[in-house]
Amino acid sequence: MTPPDLDRTSALFLDVDGTLVEIAATPEAVVVAPGLPGLLAQLHGLLDGAVAIVSGRPLSQIDELLHPFAGSAAGEHGVAIRFGDGTLEEAPARVAVPDDWREALTATAARWPGVRVEPKPHGVTVHYRLAPERANEVWRAVRALVPEDDPWFRLLPAREAVEIGLRAASKGQAVARLMKQAAFQGRRPVYVGDDFTDEAGISAAMELGGIGLRVGEAFGGDPARVRAWLKRGAERMAVPERSSTLPTGISP
C-alpha cells in the first residue's frame, strides 16, 4: 500500500524501534538519524502538538534517544503516558514484575551466551537476537513464570525477544487516552508501527476514524522510508495553502 499524505488535520502516533530507527543488535546500539529529532519537532509545531511517541521503551530512554525533542509520549506500551503539558500518568511502582522473576531470568540468561535481559521500571524483556537458536528455550523459561491466565502480567512477543508486560496496558489504550487531549481532539489519528504490540495502536487509530500503517507493508520494512515520508509531509504542510480567492484583476 502507498502511505497517504499527512495534512494539518493529522495526529501522529509513532513507534520507535523498527519504525523511526533501524533495529539493532541491542537496544543501546540503535542509531538515531541526525535529523530525526528536529523533524519531529517541526511536525510537532505544524500539527499544534499532535505528535506522540508510542514505544515499548521506558520514557527515559525515549527522551534520551530523541533529545532535544520532547512531546507527548507513551512508554512501556502505555504503562506510562506523558501529556503535552508534562503531566505524567503511570502505573504505581509496586505494579511491576516481581524481583524474583527478574533474578530467575537473569540467572537463566547467564547460561546462554547472547541472551540478554533488559529490565524496565514495570516490565522486563529477554532478547535472543544474538542467539536465535535459544528462542524456544527463552520462551519456555518466561512462560514458566507467567501462565496464560495470570491476572496481572502477559507475554508480549517482539522481534527476537519476549517481554513480560502489564496486562492492563496497551498501545491502543495509550492512543485512546492521548486522543482525548486538547492537541489531538478533532484530528485523524495516524499510527505507524512495525511490531506485534503496535497492532493495538493501529486498531485504536482505525476505530477513531484514522489509519494504521504497518512499516512492513507501507514502507517495505525500512525506517528510512518512514522518515522520508514524514519529511515530505512536513515540507508539504510548511508551504502555505494557495488561496482560492484571487485579488480583482489577477488571473491564475
Which positions are catalytic? 15
- Of 239, 243, 194, 241, give the one whose Cα is nearest residue 214: 194
Question: d(Cα 140, Cα 207) in Å, to the nearest integer?
Answer: 35
Grid coordinates in use for 175? 492512543
**Cβ partners under 8 Å of residue 24, min gap 6:** 30, 31
Question: d(Cα 56, Cα 193) in Å, to the nearest integer?
Answer: 11
Grid coordinates in use for 23? 533495529
Residue with grid cell 492512543, as numbered in its chain: 175
